[in-house]
Amino acid sequence: MTDQAPAPESEIPGETEAALPGKPTSASRTTLSHIMTHNDTNLLGTVHGGVIMKLVDDAAGAVAGRHSGGPAVTASMDEMAFLEPVRVGDLVHVKAQVNWTGRTSMEVGVRVLAERWNESAPPTQVGSAYLVFAAVDADGKPRPVPPVIPETDRDRRRYQEAQIRRTHRLARRRAIMELREKRAAEGYED
């Protein structure tokens, strides 16, 4: 993972999108491919989940930087799902794209596919994740990002689903903060 980011301003309710020109989803979409070796394995002999998570963060970071036109840091990773084990000798493809943008942050969706390096069978989806990145300036302060322009029906569906995830993240954050404030008012220390 990259350095922890300050809470992006775009996670604040009522945010308005930046006045930057929009960029189509395809402008920053990317695929990172890597062959898995014995150095990537866990005690069970399959590829360690942390290795996959790093590839996911690397691909998502590249997409976020490309879309925002500069540095972007990981603010959160949601819903990392491991669907199938990855084995030594698998060629892993990490496909990432910007699903949604706020004023200073963006959600990047990632699909992880694996195929045997020496076979011609189609790749199998082995994982997926959603990450939120905050675009930052040279001082590490949030900076505006261009709006993403969904191009296909799939892109539009991903945009809508990203808005739902954002609503849930904000509601969860509010509920936790309210609980902490209540506990503090009751004299509990966390």
The whole-number pLDDT of residue 2 equals 41
DSSP 143: -
Q: In the structure, what pLDDT confidence band is assigned to residue 189 with cuts at 50, 70 and 90?
A: confident
Concatenated DSSP letters for 6-29?
PPPGGGSTT----SSPPEEGGGT-
Q: In the structure, what pLDDT confidence band is assigned to residue 78 with cuts at 50, 70 and 90?
A: confident
Question: Residue 13 pLDDT > 60, yes or no?
Answer: no
Share of the chain above pLDDT 70, in %: 90
Residue 186 amino acid letter: E
Question: Residue 178 pLDDT > 80, yes or no?
Answer: yes
Q: pTM for the whole thing?
A: 0.84
The whole-number pLDDT of residue 84 equals 96
pLDDT in tens, 129-173: 999 999 999 999 999 999 999 999 999 999 999 999 999 999 999
Write down the mean pLDDT value for the chain: 90
Look at phi and psi of residue 187 and say left if phi exceeds 0, alpha if psi is from -120 to 50, else beta. left
Q: In the structure, what pLDDT confidence band is assigned to residue 3 with cuts at 50, 70 and 90?
A: very low
Concatenated DSSP letters for 66-125?
HHHTS-EEEEEEEEEEE-S--BTTEEEEEEEEEEEE-SSEEEEEEEEEEEETT--SPPEE
Q: What is the CA radius of gyration of the chain?
A: 18
